[in-house]
Amino acid sequence: MSTSNPPQPHRWDLLRPDQLGTLLDGVEQPDLWYLDELTVCAAKVVARSGGADLRFVGRSADSVFDLLGGALAETSWSGRLGRLPLSCAGGTAELSRRDVGRMREHLAAAGMAPCDLARRRRPLALVDLVWAGRTFTTLHTVLRDWVEESREPWPVIRRRLRYLGITARTRTSPKTWRWRQHHPWTTDLPTRAVQNVSLDQSVWHLLGDHEPKTAPSFPPQRWHDDSVSVPVRGDGPTRALATALALVEAGRTRTVRRRLVRTFRPEPAFAEPWLRSLCHELRSR
């Protein structure tokens, strides 16, 4: 396996927007009508992570990533967010041996090689919008096989791993379909290692189905294409970039940071020192 990072779709570092130059000149300011709902969701992602470092899978949850990136800048959580931009909902049956090798390179670049997971000080949580759980299933299957092959201690790694699914909010009932109950691999982890965060259905579908993204989807057939790292131009990516930057800037505001703190308080994790410490940092900003 290569020791260098594999090619990934280009994404601007929006915590340093000076590098954008005139790219967004004349672009209409986006309407963040969903900001409060997104802020509540972002707060619950952090609170239910168990204090884990966060890796956002694919593109669907990019807006949560951007909002938190701005909010957590200049706190002790700065640098604890990352992306794993793979699209792999098709399952392992669609992956060639070469594809699996490339996925391992992406996992390693995200700090998820078995040897790294076994020696982590903090847990690591994968975050994604979830409908049926196929992407998480693919990632977990590939990772579990890699752990077995590498002979790293699974009993240790299973305590370092988290999955946070952002689901479309529905009326709960005994007949409600819950994705994690339909995937046996979830029982291979501690009880609280697989968590859900519900999001208003209209916002969920906006993020997952309709919101412009800064780069095209990144399925297996593109994993071996070095040209994916070239920035994509066009109306859609430019509007997506403007939205992403607006969310980062919104995250830096006192209004959003205070909303995060208010949402943390009812969460069970608020009793834990790590979350109370983060609340103190956000209040002081």
pLDDT digits (tens, 9 = 90+) for 97-128: 999 999 999 999 999 999 999 999 999 999 99
Instruction: Give dist(CA 143, CA 112) in Å, integer.
Output: 8
- CB under 8 Å to 83, separation ≥6 — which residues? 11, 55, 56, 57, 62, 65, 110
Closest CA to 263 of 75, 52, 54, 41: 41
Instruction: Give dist(CA 134, CA 107) in Å, integer.
Output: 17
Token couple for 50: 């168990």
Q: Where are the domains of the chain?
A: 54-169+184-277
Over 60: is that where the pLDDT of 27 sits?
Answer: yes
Closest CA to 19 of 228, 243, 231: 231
What is the pLDDT of the chain when averaged over all its residues?
A: 95
| Distance, C-alpha 233 to centroid of its chain | 24
Q: Confidence class of residue 2 from pLDDT cuts 50, 70 and 90?
A: low
Please count the CA atoms within 13 angstroms of the CA of 89 that sit on its side-chain side. 13
DSSP character at residue 206: I
